[in-house]
Amino acid sequence: MPELPEVETTRRILEPHLLGRTLVRLTHSDPARYQHTALAEGRRVLSTRRRGKFILLELEGETEAIIHLGMTGGFRFAPHRHTRLRVELEGETLYYTDPRRFGKWWVVPKGDYRAIPLLTRMGPEPLSAAFTLPAFQQALGRTGRRIKEVLLGQEAVAGVGNIYADEALWLSRIHPERPANTLEAGEAKRLHKAIQQVMAQAVQVGGSTLSDATYQQPNGEPGYFQLQHHAYDRTGQPCDRRGCGGRILKTVVGGRGTHFCPVCQRV
């Protein structure tokens, strides 16, 4: 958390507050985590976009501010007890919050991602035309790593994290520990479609807010996709697939808690 749907929701809500406005001052006390932010001060925001789990602000003077929300990062329109960075605009202030302090900011020359190498090797966006089935099949065929690990790695497809990997694998009836290069053509096709479907639905309802409520939209509202979860965080509950009869189990794959149905997602 946050993953593509939460980051995209945040970007869309922030964009009207940022676009065309000048970043007057960025105030924080952690220059190692929020790097070179003074370079953004006095520059107007020309555009906002998202790449995987990153928010990228294009600024005047061929400069970019890049934001990774980490596990608990987000924005608020009012001061918050976990505020880590204040973004002072003309007539308004945004508050970047991060209880666990895993988020990071970089201000760099436009397109210079040497400090963020993941941006240079990230795969296609799942909701873009670049996410084609043939390219996805080729990416899976090149590795014997477990399919859950491949999805989390960001190179086969961008923006998929723990929650949405579990949901897409459940929807496509694929066990999270299957070696990626053992997926048959029909299975890869189901997974490709499931990733697109899960991501589109999650973005539409503002992402997922879990029981710890660490993710909220900048306006304070929760996301609502957790009401549609079929696998993630449903350990011990009956599988939602009609006629299945299984119960959701939890295991660990690639160091991440992983939820699946052992009946309809067989190895």
pLDDT digits (tens, 9 = 90+) for 59-90: 999 999 999 999 999 999 999 999 999 999 99
- 155 annotated active-site: no
Residue 159 and residue 126 in contact, taking contact as beta carbons nearer than 8 Å: yes
Q: φ, ψ for residue 57 (rounded to 5)?
A: -105, 115
82 is in an annotated binding site: yes
pLDDT at 137: 98
Cα–Cα distance, 193 to 83 (Å, whole number): 38
- 50 annotated active-site: no
- 238 annotated active-site: no
CB atoms within 10 A of CB 105: 24
List pLDDT tens digits, range 197-229: 999 999 999 999 998 888 999 998 999 999 999
50 is in an annotated binding site: no
Domains in the chain and their CATH numbers? Answer: 4-121 (3.20.190.10), 133-260 (1.10.8.50)
Question: Which residue is catalytic, options 2, 124, 126, 176?
Answer: 2
Cα–Cα distance, 117 to 265 (Å, whole number): 34
- 2 annotated active-site: yes
Question: Which residue is catalytic, options 43, 51, 53, 178?
Answer: 53
List pLDDT tens digits, range 17-66: 999 999 999 999 999 999 999 999 999 999 999 999 999 999 999 999 99
Question: Which residue is catalytic, options 44, 86, 247, 256?
Answer: 256
